[in-house]
Amino acid sequence: MRLHELASLAGVVAPKGLEELEITGVASLQEARPGDITFFGNPRYLSQLRVSKASAAIVPADFAEELGLILLRVENPAAVFAVVVAAFAPQEVPPHVGIHHSASVAASARIGDGVSVGPLAVIEEGAEIGDGSVIGSGCLIGRDVRLGKNCHLYPGAIIRERCILGERVILQPGAVIGSCGFGYELKEGRHVKIPQTGIVEIGDDVEVGANTTIDRARFGRTVIGEGSKIDNLVQIAHNVQIGAHSILCSQVGIAGSTRVGSYVTLAGQVGLAGHIEIGDKAVIGAQSGLSKNVPPESFVIGAPAKPIKEWKQSNFYISQLGKLYERVRELEEEVKNSKS
C-alpha cells in the first residue's frame, strides 16, 4: 500500500513528497525492516523505536522527537495500528452457508437464515441458532440452547443444555459453557455431588477465550454481562455474575457466587474467593488473591490484595530489611563494645 493510503486509514495526512512511498508490511519495532510500518505507544520502548529499521511508525500525537523514519502522529497508536494490520491481513474465507453432511442436527432444532454448521458439529433437540451464526467443526450445542444472531463458535466449543447466548458472541476453540459447577457435600466419608440445575447466560458482544470454562449455576444463572471480554484459560464458577464490558485476563479463577461489576479489569492469574463483590471500574493487579470485597474504582494488588499505594510501601519496607538487619547488628556491636 502507498503511504497516503495508510495515512488515510490513520486519519492523518502523509508527509509531503512521501505520499507514494510503498509500505509492504507491518511488524514490531524490533522485527521491522525497510518497507514495514510499525507502531510505538509505550515510553518503555523508546530505545527500540530509535533504532528500528522500519520505514514508518505510528506514534502518539504528542510525540515530539524527530527520528530517521517517517512518523504518523495519531491520538491512539494501538487502535490505528490495528486498522493498518487488518489492511495487510489475508482476507478471511467466508464460511460456507449451510449444514455440512457430517453434522448431526436434531429435527426439532431451529436453524436461522445464513447459518453455517461445520463438519461433525452436533446440535441437539430444541436448540435455536440465530441468523448468520457460524458453528465450527466439532462444536456441541446442547438441548434447548438459545444462540443469538451472528455468533461465531470456533471448532470444539461446547454449550451445554439450556444455556443462553446473546448476539455476536464469540467462543474460541475449546471454550465450555455450562459445565457443572463444582459442588459436593461430605456424607458418610464420601463426597456426594450436588445437582447443578441452573444455566449460563451470556450477553451480547461477549468473547470467551480458548479453553475457558464457565460453570452453570447451582440454581438460577451464571451471568456474563454484555461486551465483556474473557481471555484463554479462565475459570468462572457457578452463580458468578460479571457486569458489562469487564476484562478478564488469562488464568483468572473466580469462585462461586462472586459478583464482579462493570468495567472491571482482572489481570492475569487473579484469584477471587467466593461470595465477594468487586465494585465497578476496579482494577485487580496480576497474581492478586482476594478474599474480601473491593470498592468501586479501586486499584488493588498482592496476595492478600491491598491498595496499590500500600502495596508499594510494603514492598519498599521489605526491600530495606537487609539494610535494617545489618544496622541492628552494628548497633548491637556498638552496645557490646561500650559495655566492655
The residues carrying an active-site annotation are: 238
Phi, psi of 311, rounded to the nearest 5 degrees: -65, -45
Are the C-beta atoms of residues 98 and 80 closer than 8 Å to each other? Answer: no
DSSP, collapsed to helix, strand or coil, labels residue 310 as helix
Q: Which of 17, 38, 16, 18 is nearest to 27 (CA)?
A: 38
Here the cell at position 109 is: 432444532
Please give the helix or strand (H or E) that residue 5 lies within, else none. Answer: helix 3-10
CB 169 within 8 A of CB 207: yes
* Closest C-alpha among 161, 102, 157, 106 to residue 133: 157
Whole-angstrom Cα distance, residue 220 to residue 206? 20
> What span, in angstroms and rounded, lies between the C-alpha atoms of 329 and 323?
10
Which residues, other chains included, contact 160 with Cβ-Cβ below 8 Å and sequence gap of 6+?
140, 142, 145, 176, 177, 178, 179, 216
